[in-house]
A and B are shown apart, each in its own frame.
Chain A
């Protein structure tokens, strides 16, 4: 047992911290969010040059073979800087799906445009009626000769507004709820029949509502086996959860640091407000919440290869803790900053928004608590 970073992990961390420090000041970030694309093409190509877009992929796919720990290192750094680049959608979700679904030769070809930074992808999975259930897929894929015809609606597709290609999860057979019969298709973002309604999210990212209206794609658009999308989807979502939990830990760390600095500087009644015990204990409680998230994010990141029940438990626990402890830190940060915590011009408010809204990506606290209950039921049945 050794929790310290390896030399490679430390180098990766330094690299991420450096690029975030250079490119993601509060003002730079505001500019990026308000730009047309909602991300920075310059930063994205810098990520590509540094190899960050290849971190979680297998060597066969041209990646660095990074595991959960490496993904955690990158995402924590992004969390500290509130990076809004489409890393989660392109690299972590769509990219690792392709890595898991395809054979060695095919995956190298498929991932080249992502690793080089030339194209951005989005995973079009969740649907309006499925809420957080990734396997509730009403979008259909109907075979038509050598082609498939895709029809359906996709909700809050991360990075879906600007993605060059969409990785669409559709049902080629089977009924809801059911993991069997799900297939994945790579679809050009501007293909006939695809309409995208893009927007900025409350935490400064971009997403889109996407309608697929009889979108005709060739058989070559099918990714992996027909009906076999559930396993690579789970693979990708697991990595997405790790990235989100690590990002939350990074953002919570900065939120705690900013709040601590503020209560040391802000004076009322002639003294720093941090001298009041009522605030000191609240600050300590924030740090306890941070440690809980750090601990469970770390545990999840190191459990990707653990036996099924353990992996599921640690991922669900980490995400459920981000929901609970993250909200606690965000609310307390705003409270301790007082009026300044309410201001758009204060960076703390942006940290608070990101930390709270991370709960709404890939299953919230309620959803993941239910997954823990599933495990309890299974354990009970086995006992």
Chain B
């Protein structure tokens, strides 16, 4: 048993660090570290740098442009980039639709879409949830009817993250209403830009942000060659996507960076004549979060190490999702508390830096409220517990 990185792993970590130091612009990492708004351009800048290095599609097979890394290497990469304040990689193209295309798509689909995803030429959105289909995703109603060489899509998708920037969307649609709900679903790729009938409307969340959208399909004509896998087998694609490479799901690197940010704030901000960090309750909260985060970090490493030894992380990723999101939310809770009275001014998203109070406080309440989403999306934490109950505990 050896929990330390070996020499090759340390060398790899140094290589990642050197690359990040050279290629990640400071103005971007500063924004990420202080939870400020990161623009689509910032995300694309970072993705292009990774693409040029061949490090963008870390979960893809080598023949399609993946770097051929082991689970430990992927973990090191994710941790190091997150701790350094790299923006998150948009998952919708790279880690959601691409694995499905690689597994179930035609040669033409692979040849066309995969290089475009690698080069960030398409911005993908996810069309899964509907107003009536959240945790019970298979009850989705968005309809696709075959009409010659096309499907005619009618219906609505919702919670479409960053859909306002997207030109492509993968959607789960109902192609058979007469069978069991899981058996009448298909997986379609829709060009949002060039297909009439697609409307994106913003949904403003409680933090004032425009991050999610609803997408309406009104007699949208989608060519049949945009079907991935077989008709009515879309649920297989959807499930595959949910189990694909989820060891990064704990988000330990992001939480570490966020906790480090809080420590800095606590050192720099004064209250009643002394730094916040010297207030006993603040110190206690900080170490309690550190303790929780250490537990997630080591649990994550245990799963990564098992994957390295050939194990396939299945429902273990549900543990990691619950543990990782809980600690990240608790960190954001302390962030809001550290802001004190200056958690109150509602941020003017257009003004940004001219916030009231100390600079760090501008994003505190936004971050806290925004991150309530973590335990809701990607399979709510209650759904994760149902999965663990069934798959691991046999209940």
Known: A274-B395, A280-B393, A376-B277. A296 touches B295 (CB 8 A): yes
Q: Are A264 and B395 in contact (CB under 8 A)?
A: yes
* Assembled-state Cα–Cα distance A260/B390 (Å): 12
Residue of B nearest to A70 (CB): B1
- B263 CB contacts on chain A under 8 angstroms: 376, 379
Question: Does residue B21 face the partner (Cβ distance < 8 Å to A)?
Answer: no
Q: Are B1 and A4 in contact (CB under 8 A)?
A: yes
Interface string of B366-390 (1 = CB under 8 A from A): 0000000000000000100110110
Q: Are A1 and B3 in contact (CB under 8 A)?
A: yes
- Which of B286, B298, B392: most chain A CB closer than 10 A? B298
- A302 CB contacts on chain B under 8 angstroms: 1-4
Q: Are A2 and B299 in contact (CB under 8 A)?
A: no
Q: Are A277 and B3 in contact (CB under 8 A)?
A: no
Question: Does residue A284 face the partner (Cβ distance < 8 Å to B)?
Answer: yes
Total A-B residue contacts, Cβ distance less than 8 Å: 124
Known: A3-B306, A284-B385, A321-B291. A263 touches B286 (CB 8 A): no
Question: Does residue B267 face the partner (Cβ distance < 8 Å to A)?
Answer: yes
- A281 CB contacts on chain B under 8 angstroms: 382, 385, 389
Q: Are A299 and B267 in contact (CB under 8 A)?
A: no
Q: Which of A268-291 contact B (CB under 8 A)?
A: 274-275, 277, 280-281, 283-285, 287-288, 291
Known: A280-B389, A284-B388, A317-B294. A3 touches B319 (CB 8 A): no
Question: Does residue A26 face the partner (Cβ distance < 8 Å to B)?
Answer: no
Known: A264-B394, A369-B287, A373-B283. A299 touches B298 (CB 8 A): yes
Known: A288-B322, A288-B323, A299-B298. A380 touches B267 (CB 8 A): yes
Interface string of B235-279 (1 = CB under 8 A from A): 000000000000000000000000000010001000000010110
- B385 CB contacts on chain A under 8 angstroms: 280-281, 284-285
Q: Which of B279-332 contact A (CB under 8 A)?
A: 280, 283-284, 286-288, 290-292, 294-295, 297-299, 301-302, 305-306, 308-309, 319, 322-323
Residues of A within 8 Å of B, CB-based: how many? 42
Q: Are B1 and A5 in contact (CB under 8 A)?
A: yes
Question: Does residue B9 face the partner (Cβ distance < 8 Å to A)?
Answer: yes
* Assembled-state Cα–Cα distance A377/B278 (Å): 8
Q: Are B6 and A1 in contact (CB under 8 A)?
A: yes
Residue of A nearest to B322 (CB): A288
Q: Are B393 and A284 in contact (CB under 8 A)?
A: yes
Overall SS of chain A's interface: helix
- A284 CB contacts on chain B under 8 angstroms: 322, 385, 388-389, 393
Return A70 CB to nearest CB of chain B, in Å.
Answer: 9
- A264 CB contacts on chain B under 8 angstroms: 394-395
* Assembled-state Cα–Cα distance A281/B390 (Å): 11
Question: Does residue B346 face the partner (Cβ distance < 8 Å to A)?
Answer: no
* Assembled-state Cα–Cα distance A376/B264 (Å): 12
Q: Which of A351-381 contact B (CB under 8 A)?
A: 369, 372-373, 375-377, 379-380
- Which of B280, B291, B388: most chain A CB closer than 10 A? B291
Indicate which residue in A6, A287, A369, A375 contacts B388 across the interface (CB closer than 8 Å).
A287
Interface string of B346-372 (1 = CB under 8 A from A): 000000000000000000000000000
Q: Are B386 and A277 in contact (CB under 8 A)?
A: yes
Q: Are B3 and A280 in contact (CB under 8 A)?
A: no
Indicate which residue in B3, B6, B286, B309 contacts A298 across the interface (CB closer than 8 Å).
B3
* Assembled-state Cα–Cα distance A294/B267 (Å): 32
Q: Are A295 and B9 in contact (CB under 8 A)?
A: no
Q: Are A1 and B72 in contact (CB under 8 A)?
A: yes
Question: Does residue A348 face the partner (Cβ distance < 8 Å to B)?
Answer: no
* Assembled-state Cα–Cα distance A280/B382 (Å): 10
Identify 9 new A-B residue pairs, CB closer than 8 A, beyond the known A291-B295, A292-B292, A372-B290. A260-B393, A277-B386, A280-B393, A287-B393, A298-B3, A298-B302, A321-B295, A369-B287, A380-B267
Supply 21 A–B pairs (Cβ within 8 Å), ascending by A. Answer: A2-B305, A4-B309, A5-B1, A6-B1, A280-B389, A284-B385, A284-B393, A287-B319, A287-B388, A287-B392, A295-B294, A302-B2, A302-B3, A317-B294, A321-B295, A372-B287, A373-B280, A373-B284, A376-B286, A379-B263, A380-B277
